[in-house]
Structure 1
Amino acid sequence: MILFCEDQAPPGVKFLGWFHFQETNFEKGLSVIETKQGLLAQGAPLNQPASVQLLLFADVFLRTPFSGEHIQQLKKSCVALFGVGSIGSAIAKSLVRAGVENILLIDPDRLSLTNVFRHECSMLDVGRYKVTALAQSLLQINPQLSLKTMAENIFQWPSAQLENLLENVSVVIDSTDRPSARLTTASLGYELHKPVVHAGCFEEGRGGEVFWHIPDVKEPCYWCLREGMAQPPKSRTIDYSTAQGPDDFKGEPGLDAVTKSIAMAAVQISLALLLRGMPDCQLSLVLTTQSNYLLLGNAFSNNFYRFKGPFHTFFQPFNGPRKSCSLCQKTTH
C-alpha cells in the first residue's frame, strides 16, 4: 500500500474528495481518487480532519503491466477449460487471480488419492468430481465468479452441440492427456475460429509442452508440429494401484512445481490471446515468436527427450503445415 495526503497525490492521480455512507448502522468514510485507469474508492478513517487524513491507495496498477481496460477485458472474457487435473486446476486458479470471471470447467473424472499432491484440491475432496471441488475452491478466491461445471465426457457430443456450448467462449484451453481429446479441441478451434491453447506434462514430470493456435493465422497445427517427434519414453517408478488410504501415499517430489511451471506458461499465453489486439499489452510479444510450440524443461530434463540440460526451454521450430493435414487446410490464409 502507498500512503499519501490529499495534497501530495502522485502524478496521474487526482483527489476528488470525501463522502460518507451508512452501512448496518456503522458510519464509514470513503475516499475517492481518479487515476489514469479510472476511479478507485478506498476506505479511510473519520476521526481526523480531512486535511491530515491519509488516502490509502491500492498500488495494484503500479505493480502490473495491465491497464484498467485490460482488466475489464479479462473480466468479461470467457474461457473454456477442458481437463481440470494437475495442470488444468492450476491454470484455473491463476486465471481467476488474473481477473477472468467467466469460466467453463469440463472434466468427467473424480479426484482420486493419487491426484492430491499435484492438484489444487485437497484430501477432503477425494471422491468428488474435480470440476465441483475446483469450482468451490475458485469461489473462495472470487465469490463473484460465473462458473459452469460439466462432469461428463462432452467429446462424445455431436459437433453441433459442442459448437453451441462454445459459442460465447473467448479462448479454449485443453489440458487433457488424451490425444483424441486434443484432436477434438483443435478441430473445434479451427471450425469456430477460436484461439486454442494445449498444455501437457511429459512422463515423470521431466518437462512439458504448451502449444497455441490463433485463428486465421498461417501456422502448423499441433499434429503437424508433432510430426516426426517421438513421444518421450514412459517409465512409471511409483505404483499407486494398491493404495488404500493416505498412509499408502508415497508423494511425488518436485512434480507439483513442474506442473505449475507448465500451467503458468499456458496462463500467460492464454492472457495474451484474451487481450490480443488491445493497445499497450506487453503480453502480445508472446504471440510474435517464431513458433507457437513451447517446450519447457526443468531440473529433471537433463538429456531427456529434446532437452539438452536442466531447465532447457525452447520454441520448437515449425515442421509444417503439411499439405495433407485436414486441420491446417481449414485455416484461412
Structure 2
Amino acid sequence: MSTPLSPLPANRLNRFARHIVLPELGGAGQAVLAQARVALMGVGGIGSPALQYLAAAGIGTLVLIDSDVVDETNLQRQTIFTPDDIGQSKAARAADWVRAFDPALTVIAHDQRLTPDNAATLLGGVDLVLDGCDNFATRLAVSDACVALGTPLLSAAVGRFQGQVGAFAGHLPGQACYRCYVGDAFDADDCDTCAADGMLGAMAGWTASFAAMQAIRLLLAETGGRPGGLGDAQWGKLHLLDGLAPSMRSFAIAADPACKACGESAS
C-alpha cells in the first residue's frame, strides 16, 4: 500500500476496540486493514465464512468474484446465504450481506467466471487474493495472474474432513507460486467435488476462519502495520487441517525453477 495511513474515524473506534487493544494490532494495524483491498475468488464454502471474518475485521475494500448462483445444498456450509437467496447470484447476494453488515466498507461484486483472459482485470489493484474456488483450472489462472501482477496469493481448499491453507508469493525471488505446488497436470476443470465426496460444514468454517486469520497476518506483515504484527507472512508454507484427528501440520513448498509461471524461464 503506497498511500499514507489515515487514522480511523472516531465513529469506528468502538467497533474495532477489541482489535485495537491487541498489542499485535493496535490502532496502526487496524488502520492498515481499513485501507486494505482483498479479492475473494469464490464466495462459497471457503469464501462465505472467510468473508464474514474479513468484513468483521474491517477490511476496507472487498472484491467478490463468483459466477455461481445459490443452491439449497450450499446452505449447509455457506453461512451468509438464506433460503431466500436460492437461485440468485452468489456475488451479488454476498455483496448485499457486506453492505448490511458494515455500510462503511466498499464492496465490489463480479458475477462472472474468472479465466486467464480476464484474471488480470478482475484481480488488478488489490493487496491480496484469497482463493477458495472449486477447480484447478481457475486456481491456476488466479495464481498465474497473481505472479504477473505482483500480488500475494492465499490459497484455501477444503473437502470431507480436511482443509489446507497456504501463502504464495511467486512474484518474489526464490518464493513458490501455487503452480509450483500442484504443477501443470491440473490445468483442467475436473476435480473432486463436495457433491460426490461430501463435506462437514464446520470443516469449511474452520478452514475459512484460519484463512481469514492468515490474510490479516499477511496484510499486516506486508504493509508495515503494527511492527511485528502477527508474525511473518509465512510465504511458501502450507497448513493442513485434519478435522477427524483433530490436528494441524505444516510444511514448506519450494519454488520450482522450471515453473512456467514464476520459474527461471518464465517470461
Normalising by the smaller structure, the TM-score range is 0.7 to 0.9
Change (3 A) 1:91 1:108: same
**Where in structure 2 are the equivalents of 1:229-244 lying within 5 Å?**
236=196
Per the alignment, residue 155 of structure 2 pairs with 198
**Where in structure 2 are the equivalents of 1:13-92 lying within 5 Å?**
40=10, 59-60=17-18, 61-63=20-22, 65-92=24-51
Contact 2:143 2:179 (C-alpha < 8 Å) held by counterparts:
no
Q: Deviations over 1:21-76 (max 9, x none)?
A: xxxxxxxxxxxxxxxx888579xxxxxxxxxxxxx9x9533257311111111111
Per the alignment, residue 125 of structure 1 pairs with 85
Contact 1:207 1:295 (C-alpha < 8 Å) held by counterparts:
yes
Change (3 A) 1:193 1:76: same
Change (3 A) 1:212 1:39: closer
Q: CA deviation at 1:237?
A: 6.5
Per the alignment, residue 243 of structure 2 pairs with 298
Work out the CA distance in 1 between the residues paired with 2:264 and 2:52.
33
Change (3 A) 1:233 1:164: closer
Change (3 A) 1:98 1:64: farther
Per the alignment, residue 166 of structure 2 pairs with 211
Segments of 5+ residues of structure 1 without an aligned counterpart are: 1-36, 43-55, 239-251, 300-309
Q: Deviations over 1:179-226 (max 9, x none)?
A: 000101110111011001111102xx2211112112314233323334
Q: Does 1:224 align with 2:224?
A: no
- Greater Rg, structure 1 or structure 2? 1
Change (3 A) 1:144 1:233: closer
Per the alignment, residue 4 of structure 2 pairs with none
Q: Deviations over 1:219-262 (max 9, x none)?
A: 333233346xx998999477xxxxxxxxxxxxx7xx22111111
Q: CA deviation at 1:331?
A: 9.9
Could you say what the CA RMSD is over the residues aligned between the two structures, in angstroms? 3.2
Per the alignment, residue 3 of structure 2 pairs with none
Per the alignment, residue 284 of structure 1 pairs with 231
Change (3 A) 1:297 1:331: farther
Segments of 5+ residues of structure 2 without an aligned counterpart are: 1-6
Query: Per chain length, whose mean CA-contact separation is higher, i.e. which structure has more relative contact order (CA < 8 Å, sep 6+)?
Result: 2
Change (3 A) 1:224 1:139: same
Q: CA deviation at 1:170?
A: 0.7
Change (3 A) 1:41 1:91: closer
Work out the CA distance in 1 between the residues paired with 2:230 and 2:55.
17
Work out the CA distance in 1 between the residues paired with 2:194 and 2:55.
33
TM-score by length of 1: 0.66
Contact 2:239 2:249 (C-alpha < 8 Å) held by counterparts:
yes
